Amino acid sequence: MKLSRAILEYKPAFEVKGIGITYTDYGSWYGIYLYDKPATANIQWKDKIRFFDEAKEYIKELTGHDLPRSYDISTLEKIKSALEEKGFVADFDDAMDVS
């Protein structure tokens, strides 16, 4: 395994049950929030993937789909469906106001 691949591999230290993909309100990728409970709203997230390359790899490994850097509803719906088929509670939004 290449060192660069090992660095990009993200492995949470807990069982992930919820995944929330967030974009800014301008449609730019912001982060992936991971939850140890089967929910993505009204609870505190347990971990966050902050770097796009790590997030892209993580989603690709889980779903086989490429995570879009910009908010793309049709691709995100496919990712959400694939995550739900694997037993995760999943959601995405473009509501992050970073101002």
pLDDT in tens, 23-45: 998 899 999 999 999 999 889 99
Note whether 38 and 55 are within 8 A (CB). no
Taking a C-beta distance cutoff of 8 angstroms, is the pair 29, 75 a contact? no
**pTM for the model:** 0.86
Give the residue extent of every domain in the chain.
3-96
Examine the pLDDT at 95 and tell me if it is beyond 80.
yes
Task: Read off the tokens for 41.
Answer: 């709203």
User: In this predicted structure, which of 4-8, 10-14, 64-68, 73-77 has the lowest mean pLDDT?
Assistant: 4-8
- Name, in order, each residue with C-beta under 8 angstroms of 63's C-beta and a sequence gap of 6 or more: 78, 79, 82, 83, 86
